[in-house]
Amino acid sequence: MGWWPFKRKEKVLDEEPHMRGARMWIQDLREVCERCYDDHEEGQRLIGELKAEWNEASDRMEVEASLLDGLERRADKLLQADAVAWLEWLDEEEFWKPGWREEPPEE
């Protein structure tokens, strides 16, 4: 009795790779920085490695241009920071939110 008319159809699983969103990339950047909060030079080295990952993902069209721009702006600020500025950026909550833009200084 191998025949049964009400057999469930097998579902085909879509094998599309998972693409990381803005929050995940920003979270990765923040985790790298916080692990090296007391050694900004090591943190800056790790940011360089993370930037390479962003660029590879961008080449594969997995990162939108606006996200890449935001990640690059954050990375530039962190890479240019000295030890004091490094800690200030780490403590700045707005810096870690998606859509962050540095406000021009008011005159």
Give residues with Cβ within 8 angstroms of 105, minimum separation 6. none
Per-residue pLDDT of the chain (107 residues; tens, 9 = 90+): 566 666 666 665 555 556 677 788 899 999 999 999 899 999 999 999 999 998 998 898 888 888 889 999 999 999 999 999 999 999 999 999 988 887 765 55
> How far, CA to CA in Å, does 30 sit from each of 23, 40, 86?
10, 13, 12
| Predicted structure pTM score | 0.75
